[in-house]
Amino acid sequence: MAIFTGAGVAIATPFDENYNIDYDSFGKLIDFQIENKTDAIIVCGTTGEASTLNHEEHIAAIRYCVNRTNKRVPVIAGTGSNDSRTASWLTHQAELAGADAALVVTPYYNKATQNGLIDHYSYVARHTNLPLILYNVPSRTGCKINADTMAYLVKNVDNIVGIKDAVGDVSYTAQLMYETQGDIDVYSGNDDMIVPMMSLGAKGVISVLSNVAPEDTHNICAEYMAGNVEKSRELQIKYLELIHALFCEVNPIPVKKALELMGICGPHLRRPLTEMEDANTERLRKAMIEVGIL
């Protein structure tokens, strides 16, 4: 059984003016998501600025999210690292905190061969009972999980069950399904490719868009799964300009600004991320108005 189907939000981590985690706003954002049909919460991922959190903050954010969610939806904890021991330790801590699964990004900067990826993920999986979703985002990490490598891991490691596919190439997704014979839970890592990837068998999306439009992102998936492909397609296209605006600067700069415009949290980002440029803020505002968020 899939950890979740539909739209899981890659949730932002609100910070206060002193750049500490703003738990009041974080709780408000978590509740907003669940009240508006988000199917799962993915905490401490890229959108959650996990790379700027120290280990204590990282585990505290996971624990808070688990407790605030209180079993209403699954919580998937981002626990990846470019160091296998650190990734294993973070995953174990997420398990202790009560997460339902872990999202483990490919090693970045030092990267790895395909054999290295097999060893890395097998090592992490051996030290946890959590189901693992691997996160394939070569544009950020410089490291890609080949489809045959993923097929090997799914076949040989029991608790590797899924992949967040942010390669941005439906040919890769098709090859992934071919190599694994469909025996894998695939989630789109790109909000503009939800419908195309679901047409190849994806279970849904791990979404930035869901931060600001949780119900309709859920509906893109739900309508597709209900057989209402035309309605799903219409929603996908409706949000295309907003999706592009949410990525006109590096994620999560735009989505933090969008959440500020909605009054959910402040725009504060940890360095080296910086405040959104005025022209891009205006583009984002117009896109949000166009779909009725503002």
CA 169 to chain CA mean position, Å: 17
Q: What are phi and psi of 189, to 5 degrees?
A: -100, 10
**β-pair type (75-78, 40-43):** parallel
Q: Tokens 């029991």 correspond to what residue?
A: 158
Is 206 annotated as ligand-binding? yes
Q: From the candidates 37, 164, 203, 256, which is the catalytic residue?
A: 164
Structure letter (DSSP) for residue 21: B
Strand intervals (E) in the chain: 6-10, 40-43, 75-78, 101-105, 132-136, 160-165, 185-188, 204-207
Structure letter (DSSP) for residue 200: T
Write the single-letter amino acid at 155: K
Radius of gyration of the chain (CA): 18
Q: Is 164 a catalytic residue?
A: yes
Q: Is 187 a catalytic residue?
A: no
Q: From the candidates 121, 135, 187, 239, which is the catalytic residue?
A: 135
Is 220 annotated as ligand-binding? no
Annotated binding site for pyruvate: 47, 206
Residues taking part in catalysis: 135, 164
Annotated binding site: 47, 206
